[in-house]
Amino acid sequence: MSLTRVTSVSLATNALLFALKLWGFLMSGSVALFSDAMNSLLDVASSTAVLISVRVGRKAPDREHPFGHSRAEPIAGFVLAVIACVLAVEVLQESIMKFLTKHDHEVSPLLFAILGVAIVSKLAMAAWQRRVGHRANSPAVLAMAVDSRNDVLSSLAALAGVTGAAVGFNQADEIAGLIVGIIILIGGIRIVRDNLDLLLGRSPSDAVIHAVRGVVAAVPGVQGIRFCRGHYLGSELHFEIIIACHGELSTAESAQIADNVRVAAEQVPEVNVAFIHVDTVEGPHHYPELLNVLER
């Protein structure tokens, strides 16, 4: 399944769920359902932004963007996460105000049906988005999967609130609204952190670095690894590697070893691009000031 398809289906699903929840809120006045409807409204905005960012992020490099457009996805994820945090504050404020004032609760079987549809559809969407996001290494789609999982929790909280109100515990609705607001806030903070790391050039995990060093060291002609570091450029992982070879090798032989190293490094599943430089065993290190910083 393509990234465009999963984001398009997510957008349509979120729009339908928002309409259903808003209708249920207008009929019942349930603050829990209002909170869940606002969460779905955020999902509509996020699905739209992700759809745009996926199309932009997968564009080929051009003259103005020689390293491609992969930062579009984490930028979209970061902006939407900030919006989620703002929305969470609004939901919490509404829930607290309802908690402090008396108001009527109108509960009908339709509310349970709406929330049941929301829970089942979001469980299916979360599994699909997670599978496609991992396969395509898309931070935006993976963020959507986290959000869909959180949507299940928020709908379950709303269901508990509506159920409580139905049996006479009216404040259960407001408590559920508070829980939904907290779920939205925690999810937003987490996605802010993850996407900010990508924008700031986060280093890959130790396991990926060790895997790259292992395949590079195994290339014939490589006498040592002088320098090996990686960073995320948006959703892409780039590596810079300096190897040491014998000084008596010809330029053509050194170039062939460097190309073999590049191919080996880029065969590590997480690595998109590797840049290789060749030192001589007898020569000095090119970046001595970074040896202690990058030592693993």
For residues 279-293, give the mean pLDDT. Answer: 67
**Torsions phi, psi for 154 (to 5 deg):** -65, -40
Q: Say whether pTM exceeds 0.75.
A: no
The answer to whether residues 53 and 123 belong to one domain is: yes
Same-domain check for residues 93 and 134: yes
Q: What is the pLDDT of residue 296?
A: 46
Q: Do 287 and 140 reside in the same domain of the chain?
A: no
Asked whether 110 and 26 are in contact (CB, 8 A), the reply is no
Q: How far is CA 220 from CA 240, 245, 257, 271, in A?
A: 19, 10, 7, 21
Whether residues 136 and 225 share a domain: the answer is: no
How many domains are there within the chain? 2
Q: Where residue 248 sits, what CATH number does that domain have?
A: 3.30.70.1350
Q: Which residue has the higher pLDDT, 141 or 61?
A: 141
26 and 83 in a single domain? The answer is yes
In terms of domains, do 161 and 243 share one? no
Local confidence band at 264 (pLDDT 50, 70, 90 cut-offs): very high
11 pLDDT band, cuts 50/70/90, is: confident
Query: Max Cα separation, the chain?
Result: 87
d(CA 241, CA 230): 9
Domain extent at residue 286: 206-294
Q: How far apart are CA 39 and CA 89, in angstroms?
A: 12
Residue 218 has pLDDT above 50, yes or no: yes
Domain boundary among 166, 199, 232: 199
Question: Could you tell me the CATH number of the domain that includes residue 77?
Answer: 1.20.1510.10
**Same domain flag for 213 and 191:** no
Least reliable range by pLDDT among 80-89, 117-126, 129-138, 215-224: 80-89
The domain boundary residue, chosen from 153, 184, 199: 199
User: Can you read off the two tokens belonging to residue 194?
Assistant: 């993850």
Give yes or no: residues 265 and 170 share one domain. no
Q: Of 182, 199, 216, which marks where a domain is finished?
A: 199
Q: Highest mean pLDDT range out of 69-73, 123-127, 229-233?
A: 123-127
Tens digits of per-residue pLDDT, 162-202?
787 777 776 776 777 777 778 778 877 877 777 776 676 67
